[in-house]
Every structure is written in C-alpha cells, then in structure tokens.
Structure 1
Amino acid sequence: MVADYAVIGLYIAGMIGIGWFGLRLAKTKSDYLVAGRRLGWFMYSGTMSAVVLGGASTIGGVGLGYTHGVSGAWLVLTIGLGILLLHALFARRLVRLRVYTVSQMLDLRYGGSSTTIAGVVMWGYTLMLTVTSTLSFATIFNVLFDVPSLAGIAIGGAIVVLYSVLGGMWSITLTDIAQFVIKTIGILFVLLPVAISAGGGFDGLAATLDPSYFALDSIGGATIFTYVLTYGFGLLIGQDIWQRVFTARTPRVATGGGIVSGVYCLAYAVAGALIGTAAKALYPALGDADDAFAVIVEDLLPPGVRGLVLAAALSALMSTASGALIACSTVSTTDILARFRRSGNEGDEASVRTSRITTLVLGVAAIGIAMVVDDVVAALTVAYNILVGGLLVAILGGLTWRRGTRAGALVSMIAGSVVVVVSMIVAGLSANEPIYYGLLASLVAYVVVSLLTPRTPEAVLTAWNARVRGEDENEGVPAAENAGTPPGNAPAP
C-alpha cells in the first residue's frame, strides 16, 4: 500500500496547495462566490461535471450496476439529461441575470421578496447535500487507511473546508479541474477497461449473467420516472448547479460548456453501470452492492494505480461536498443573513470575510452532523423532495410563463412543500408518491392563484426582460457594468 499512500498523499497535498493559491484570486465578492464570472468553456465544463458527479454517481452508480446491470446507469443518466436541458434552455438567461442565488432570480422576476421561503428551502437542501458528501468520506478513508468512520469524516471534511474557506469558488474551481482530470483517468480510462477485461469482455459478461442485466428497463419504469423528476429536474433548480452557471464568462460559454458536461455525464453513467455489471460477474455474493467499487479496485488494480482510482473516488466526493458547501454559504450570506444587516451593502473586503467565516462555520457544522446522524440519505431525500416539489414550478414558471405572479409563486412553494412533507409522513420517505403529489399541488396552486391575482407590474417585467437580455433595465447598457443591481437601482442583496 506504500505506493497507494504516496498517490493519495500527493493528491491531498495538491488540493490544499491549490486552495492556498485560490486565496490570492478571491479578492471580491464576485471572485469568492462565482470565480469572478470569468470561466472559459474547458474550466466551466470540467467544474460542472465535477460538482454533479459525486459519491452517489461514482460509488452508488457502480452499486446500481451491480444490482441492476446496465439499467443501473439511469440515476446518472438523468443527471446528465438534467444538465443538458438546463444548458440548452436556460443557461444563457441565467448568466445574463448576473445574480448569486436562485432566490435573487425569483425576486427579479416576481418583484417584492421571495427569498425567505426559497432561501430556507435551498439552505436546507445544500446543507444536507454537504453532510451526505462529507459522510461518504468514512468509506474511502476506511479503505485507504483503515481508520474509524469518525476519523475519516473529520479528515475528508477538514480538507474540503480548508480549501473552500481559503479561496471560495476560485479554489473550488481549480480543485474541481484537477479532480475532473483524475476522475476521468481513474474511472473511464483505468477501472472501466480493467473491469470489463477481468469479466471476460462483453461476451464473457453475457455468458455469466442473466439477460436482465443487459436490459435498459430492468430497474423499473417507476424508478426511472422518479429519477427524472427528482434528479433531472432537481438539477434544473439547485443552487449548487446554478452557482456554477453564474461562473461562465459569457452565455455562449455556459451553453457550450454545459452541453459538453452533459454528454460527459452520460458517458460516466454507462461506465459506472458497466463496472458494476463486471463486479457482479466477478463477485456475485457481495453483502452490500455499494461495496462493489472498493472490492473491484482493491482486487484488480496494482499498487499505485489502485491509489489513483481511489483518489478518483475521493475527488468525486470532494467536488460535490465543496460545491454544496459554497452554495450553502452563498444562500446564507445573500438570502438569509443579509436580512439582518442594517448597514446596507458590505464592501468587498468585508463581504469576503463574512463569506469565509460563514463557510467555515457551515463546514464545521456539516462535519459534526455527519458524525452524529445515522440516516443522512433519508434527510437528503427529504431535502430533494422539498426542493423539487416546492420550488420547481415557481422557478420554471417564472422563466417560461409571463402570466405567473408573485402570489402564485409563494402559494405554489408553500403548497408543494407541505404536500411533499405530509405525503412522506403518510407514504414513507422512500416512496415515489410524495414528489408526484407535491409537484401536482404546486402546479395547480401556481396556475390558479396566478390567474386569480393581478398581473405582475409591467415595470417589474420590463426590468426582468432587460436583465434577461443582458442590459441594464434603465439605460440599456450591458449588465456587466451594473452587476448585482436589482430593478429600481436598489442596493444589491
């Protein structure tokens, strides 16, 4: 294991070093939260791929392949489809808005303030996503160093918190690119061909396994549909995803880089499912499908190479954890804490300091929660269901339906969230029905209340349309010259 330890050690040292370098780049609020909105297509597509393909997509994706065969790819496929849809339909408009959070977009579109409800829901979702990713460090560090779960959580979480606090989105972006490269080499170019070859190639796998392992729908139509609603649509509205969209240098960069990222996710989905399928042929009696990744890595790969692939898994966890952490910090400072400040806008230095402190506190809290909570997956399911059931209709309605009103959006958020929570209590946390009922209630409430209430004031819609076009709402100049200023030239949130 000496060679593996050396590879992992270099990887960890590299992440911390990159984070320290990011400290020099994060001078303003825009630098810290959205990397100065300066990313080109390669960095944009790399960081977008890194943030959406975490432990669930890597270790979990292989586990689904072990259980269901190629049909296990559907979880990550829906993630890829969500990324493609987001960038094909909405990314250009989101970049032109030049905001920092989903809630700010809702305020611009509907007028007034929607940040309390949307901000709290998004805060809970991003915090639980951080906790889940942090909890997953226990598995990787147990395989690597045979350390107890709590120590693994503390080690992995501390590394992520350190580089995230130092340079914010710049550090996260730079580490994401390194992690993206390591993940691509380790999973696609090393583990995938080795696993298929060890299983006897595609012919050998077909001869060993039941034909259902090669059917695209063996995981079940209801499960696929739920994946599309929960993860595909969830990616359309998640703060962690939108915040990456806001880093793009131009709308064209966001569209092109995002489509590249979506295609990459589709390839990653198939790779994970095939690795899991090969693991089923090689080790048919594993007690836990999620052990398939660690077992196949430990058994098939030579020292050094094994360390590289384990670093790839660690990369997947760290990129998701850091992305969720900076998203939670941004929602906290922009949508929640800003309401308690009386001194108006902070300067850049004070804003960056506040963001660093908030990121540190939330990171430590996430590590602590991960150490004491047993069923974090259930908590994440609750957060995802409320996110999609409560916010999807109001957000997509605002982007696509001019007649939607602020009252309709607020009632839609409340109705969807309440119905999701009640349905989960009645049907169970793992049931498919809560997301269906929540979305239906949210949609009906949005349409009915919007039609029964006065139209959104024309001044608000005019300002919104100007921002969507990338112009200042009053003077017709590029929004870059007035970044972050909401309608009416009021102070930016």
Structure 2
Amino acid sequence: MSMLDTGVILFYFLLLIIVGVLGVKRAKTVEDYALAGRNLGLFVYLGCLSAVILGGASTIGTAKLGYQFGLSGIWFVFMIGLGITVLGLFFIHQIYGANVTTISELLGRRYNKETRLISALVAAIYTMMVSVTQVIGMGTIIHAVLGWDMTVSMLVGGGIVLFYTILGGMWSVTMTDIIQFIVMTVGIFFVMLPLSLSYVGGWKSLSEQLPATHFDLTSMGWTNIFQYFLLYTLGMVVSQDIWQRVFTARTTKIARSGAVYAGLYSFAYALALSIIGMCAVIVFPTINDPQNVFAKMSLTILPHGLLGLILASVCSALMSTASGTLLASSTLLSHDILKQYWLKDISDQKFVFLSRMITLAIGVIAITFAIWIQDVLVALDVAYAILSGAIFVPVVLGFFWKKATAKAGFYSIIISSLVVLVGLAVEGLSSTNPIMYGIAASIVSMIIFSYLQPSSNMQKGNIVLEEWEDEQGAL
C-alpha cells in the first residue's frame, strides 16, 4: 500500500462519516430514522437496494467461489438476485400498500401480537447475523491490506459503520449507500474486472489455462446450488432489511421496478466476481485462505491510486449492507417489542433516541460475534437458515392462503425455528437439511393448527388481506 492508496481509503471513510453526520438533520421523526420518510425516487432507491443486498459476503465470497469452482461461483449471488426479482414481481404489490415498518408488524396484523413478537425476535437475529458477516468482511480486507490484527481490523471497520448509522438512521444509510453504489460499480465493473482479465492475458488465455470444470456452471454441485436457493432466494423474499428498503420507495411502481433492476444488477455482479476469482487461480495457483483472494488480487494487479479505489469499493459493499442490517435489527427490537410491550406512550423524539441506543447495542453484539466466528460464509449461512426455515412459510401463506389462523402462524414460527436450530447443532452450520426440515415443519404446523383450531383470527386475516387489496387498488 502506498501513501496515495491509504489516503484514498481514509478520504473515503471520512466522506462517509461526514455524510452520516449530515443525515442527523433529516432524521427527526421515527419514520425518517427508519424509512427515510418513504420518499425515495427510482435511482436512489435502486442504489440503496443494490448496495444492501450485495455486501461483503457477495464480494469476497463470490471471488472465493470463483477461485474454487469457476463460473459455477455465480450461483451464490445469482440466487440473491433471483430472490429480489421474485420479491419485486410477486410480493411488492402485497406488502407496499400495508403501510407498515417491519415484516413483524405485518405478520402481527395478519395473525396476532404473539406472532409479531416471535417473528421480530427471529428476524432481528437474522439481520444481526448478516451484520456479523459484513464486519468479518471488513476485517478481512483491512487485515490483508494493512496487516493489522484481525480483531483490530474488525473493530475499526465495524465502528465506522456503527457511528454513521446511529447518527442519521435510514437517511444516513441512504446517502452513504448512493456513494457506495457508485464506487462499487465503478470499482468492480470498470476497474477490477478488465484489469484482472488483462493481467492473465484475456479471456482466451484464461480459457486455455484453466481446467474445463471451471467453465461448467454446475461444477460446485446441485446440492450446493439448491442450498443457495433455499438460503438466499427464499430469504430475500422475507428479509427485514430488504423490506425496510422497499418501504422507502415513493410509489409501488418505483418499489417494484427498483427490485427487478437490482436483481439484474446482482446477476452481472455475480458473473464479474466469479471471473475475477478465476483469474486469481492463474495468479495464485496455491493460496492458504481462498477468502483472501479478492484482496490479494487487488494488491497484485492494481497500480497505486486504483488500488485504494478498489479497496474502497469493497468496503462500500460491506458497509452498505452492515448499516442496513444494523438498522433493520434495531428497528425490529424497538418498534415491534419495546414500543409494543413497555413503551407504548413514548414520544417521537424519545423513540428516535431509543432507536439509536438499540442500534448501538446491536452493533456491539455484531462486532463481538464477528470476532468469535471469523468466517463470512458460515455466518451468512446461519443467518439465512434461520430466516428461510422459520419465516418464509408463514409470510407466504399469510398472503395467499386465507384459512391460515393466528395460532398456526405463531406456533409455526416457534416450531420451525427450534427445528432449524437443532438441525444446525446436530448436522453442522453448513448443512442444507435443517432448512428443509424447518420449512417442512412450518408447512405441517400451519396446516394442522389452521384446520384443527380455526378461530376468529382467520376472519380477521381475511379482512386484512381485503384491506391491502383495496389499498393497492387506490394506489
């Protein structure tokens, strides 16, 4: 690292802090702090949505998978893009007009307050674990580039994100995300990808030097591909940090179009990072830790100045997701638990202060967990396993199956969460089976409790669905 590269990165960090401080002036109400006033246009909304779904695991993890499996490494981020596209095409019409802040609030309206409570806890754990992956990613980059101790690296990276997220909430996150979206787009597509290919002699040279398996889209195996579908495609549909971004859009049309465009952007991002990982196979035939592939490629092929820009682009991807998920987790706890059960009459100003304190607490916990786990893909797998296995079925059936009852939704989340956690403990954190067990348990629970214990809540749920349809018709 030259002084120029270090200066670029430090300037970028300083810029984010300044923008985060400016966000304080706009985050005066709860809706401003959590949802940026529900007033974002298409470009800003697209940038924010893309920035939050493509974080550290997407960047570092896909380069790692490209190094190990070649083009088949695209499936990880491809499934994320597929999930956000499905959300845009089939679900935004259902959720946008509900005028809620969290996924748990919507489940509470569809089922009951107990379901809102348990789903808030599950979703808060998920979003916090995604924050953990981003802190690990930031630590990996800073450690590889500056040579700092991994723990110190995670403390520095996580601390910067936590600072500006606490100050301005979604307004700070939105403004920093636009900067981060631009930087990561330029850094990956216009600098890192073409220079990586040029360094190894172009695509023709790459195809001649790598084994044929690296050009096989299924080389990682159908089991892993299916696992990514279960984790990320289903997880995107019911992810609080994604929903919270959806609710920031000014109109339903913007929310839907932006989600589809973000999905397409994800597909391109997956391909670019996989190719960069493939180039690294030629540059580094053997490497101790494939998780460091992207950082080592940057240090090896980039001239001074551009190196700082690329590392800033990776930090952009990491920080945008970390800030969004930290805010999502704190919103779930403050909005769906503390305000509902203990602080019902709290003023708007005090609630904003409370949200900042909860964000601080979640951030400290996330950094602590990151130091403990230190594997970006394992941490992300745990997060999405809990979400996909426990929340997906009640949300989807709540939208499309009018016979689903309050007790069914509540017990389904509890039972499936326990099944997923036990399955992960028994079969390992990277096993696909616990997710399928959780989904199966959730479906069975929903059906059994809905038919064996029908209640007046079923009628209430039907009324809620009809109200949403009426709201959408008005929009």
Confirm or deny a common fold (TM above 0.5): yes
Aligned partner of 1:434 in structure 2 is 434
- Structure 1 residue 49: Cα displacement: 0.5
User: 2-side partners of 1:425 and 1:155: how far apart?
Assistant: 31
Query: In 2, distance between residues paired with 1:244 and 1:395?
Result: 18
Does the aligned pair in 1 maintain the 2:123–2:387 contact within 8 Å? yes
Q: Which amino acid aligns with 1:401?
A: W
Letter in 2 for 1:315: S
Instruction: Give the aligned partner of residue 356 of structure 1.
Output: 356
Distance 1:29 1:439 in 2: 34
**Which residue in the other structure is 2:104 paired with?**
103
The 2-side partners of 1:345 and 1:87 are apart by 35
- Alignment-derived partner of residue 481 in structure 1: none
Q: Tell me which residue corresponds to 1:486.
A: none
Q: Cα offset for 1:468?
A: 4.4
- Distance in 2 (CA, whole Å) between partners of 1:377 and 1:199 is 27
1:448-459 superposed matches below 5 A: 448-454=448-454, 456-459=457-460
Superposition pairs for residues 219-298 of structure 1, below 5 Å? 219-298=220-299
Distance 1:411 1:149 in 2: 41
Alpha-carbon shift at residue 92 of structure 1 (Å): 2.6
> Aligned-pair distance for 1:463?
3.6
Deviates more, 1:307-316 or 1:360-369: 360-369
Matching residue's letter, 2:168 = G
2 CA distance for matches of 1:459 and 1:468? 14
Shift of residue 293 of structure 1?
0.6
Residue type of the alignment partner of 2:433? E
TM-score by length of 1: 0.92
Q: 2-side partners of 1:372 and 1:145: how far apart?
A: 21
Which amino acid in the other structure matches residue 81 of structure 1?
L
Which residue of structure 2 lines up, in the alignment, with residue 399 of structure 1? 399
SS of residue in 1 equivalent to 2:114 = coil
Secondary structure of the 1:394 match is helix
2:4, 2:308 within 8 Å by CA — same for their partners in 1?
yes
Secondary structure of the equivalent of 1:233? Answer: helix
Task: Describe the SS at the equivalent of 2:357.
Answer: helix
Runs of at least 5 residues in structure 2 that lack an aligned partner in the other structure: none
Distance, in Å, in 2 between the alignment partners of 1:443 and 1:99 is 25
Check whether the contact 1:19–1:163 (CA below 8 A) recurs between aligned residues. yes
Deviation, 1:457, is 4.3
Offset at 1:133?
1.4
8 Å contact kept, 2:408–2:450 = yes
Counterpart of 2:40 in structure 1: which amino acid?
A: L
User: Which residue does 2:130 correspond to in 1?
Assistant: 129
Check if 1:10 corresponds to 2:11: yes
Seen in structure 2, the aligned counterparts of structure 1 residues 426 and 367 have a Cα distance that, compared at 3 Å, is: closer
Note the C-alpha offset of 1:460. Answer: 4.3
> Is the CA contact (8 Å cut-off) linking 1:416 and 1:442 kept in structure 2?
yes
Partner SS, residue 28 of structure 2: coil
Tell which deviates more after alignment, 412-421 or 63-72: 412-421
**Alpha-carbon distance in 1 for matches of 2:21, 2:93:** 32
Give me the whole-angstrom Cα distance separating, in 1, the residues matched to 2:187 and 2:19.
Answer: 20
The answer to whether the 8 Å contact 2:61/2:376 transfers is no
How far, CA to CA, are the matches of 1:368 and 1:261 in structure 2? 31
Distance 1:468 1:327, change over 3 A: farther
- Equivalent pair of 1:29/1:351 in contact (CA under 8 Å): yes
- Counterpart CA distance in 1 for 2:379 and 2:191 is 34
> Taking structure 1 as reference, are residues 339 and 169 closer, same or farther at Cα in structure 2, changes over 3 Å only?
same
SS at match of 1:147: coil
Superposition deviation, residue 367 in structure 1: 2.3
Equivalent position SS for 2:371:
helix
**Deviations 1:184-203 (Å, cap 9, x if unpaired)?**
00001110011112222121
Structure 1: gaps of 5 or more residues: 479-493
Q: Distance in 1 between matches of 2:317 and 2:306?
A: 17
- Aligned pairs for 1:115-194 (under 5 A) are 115-194=116-195
Equivalent position amino acid for 2:232 in 1: Y
Deviations 1:33-88 (A, max 9, x none): 01110011111111010001011110111110000000001000000000100011
- Worse-matched range after superposition: 434-443 or 171-180: 434-443
Equivalent residue number for residue 34 of structure 2:
33
Amino acid at match of 2:179: A
Greater displacement, 288-297 / 449-458: 449-458
**1: CA distance between counterparts of 2:189 and 2:88?**
24
Aligned equivalents of 1:202, 1:477: Cα separation in 2:
52
Q: CA deviation at 1:380?
A: 4.3
- What is the one-letter code of the residue matched to 1:327? A
| Percent identity of paired positions between Structure 1 and Structure 2 | 41
> Is the 1:32–1:169 Cα contact (8 Å) retained in structure 2?
yes
Q: Partner amino acid for 1:439?
A: I
Q: Contact 1:97 / 1:468 at 8 angstroms: preserved in 2?
A: no
Q: Give the structure 2 partner of residue 384 of structure 1.
A: 384
- Are the equivalent residues in 2 in contact too, given 1:111–1:460 (CA < 8 A)? no
Q: Is the partner of 1:90 in helix, strand or coil?
A: helix
**Cα deviation code 1:308-333 (max 9, x no counterpart):** 00001111110111011001110110
- 2:413 match: 413
Matched AA of 2:128: L
After alignment, is 206-215 or 423-432 more displaced?
A: 423-432
Structure 1 residue 403: Cα displacement: 1.4
Q: CA separation of 1:235/1:148 partners in 2, compared to 1, >3 Å: closer, same or farther?
A: same
**SS state of the match for residue 73, structure 1?**
helix
Correspondence for 1:23? 24
**AA matched with 1:241:** I
1:454 partner SS? coil
Deviation at 1:236, TM superposition (A): 0.7
Matching residue of 1:206: 207
Residue 137 of structure 1: how far off its partner (Å):
1.9
AA aligned to 2:409 is: A
Structure 1 moving runs of 4+ over 6 Å? none
Check 1:72–1:470 CA distance in 2 against 1; reply closer, same or farther (3 A cut): same
Contact kept? 2:39, 2:250, Cα under 8 Å:
yes
AA matched with 1:293: F
Q: Please give the per-residue CA displacement for 1:153-188, whole angstroms capped at 9, x wherever unaligned.
A: 121111101110110000001101100000000001
- The answer to which of 153-162 and 324-333 deviates more is 153-162
Q: 1:49 to 1:198 in 2, by over 3 A?
A: same
Q: Which residue of 1 aligns with 2:443?
A: 443
Equivalent residue of 1:117, what SS? Answer: helix
Contact conserved, 2:181 with 2:316, CA < 8 A, in 1? yes
Shift of 1:2: 1.1
Q: Does the 8 Å CA contact 2:56/2:133 hold for their aligned counterparts? A: no
Task: Specify the alignment match of 2:219 in structure 1.
Answer: 218
Are positions 1:94 and 2:101 aligned together?
A: no
Give the total of aligned pairs. Answer: 473
- Cα pair 1:77 1:266 within 8 Å, conserved: yes
Report the Cα distance in structure 1 between the residues aligned to 2:401 and 2:22, rounded to whole angstroms: 44
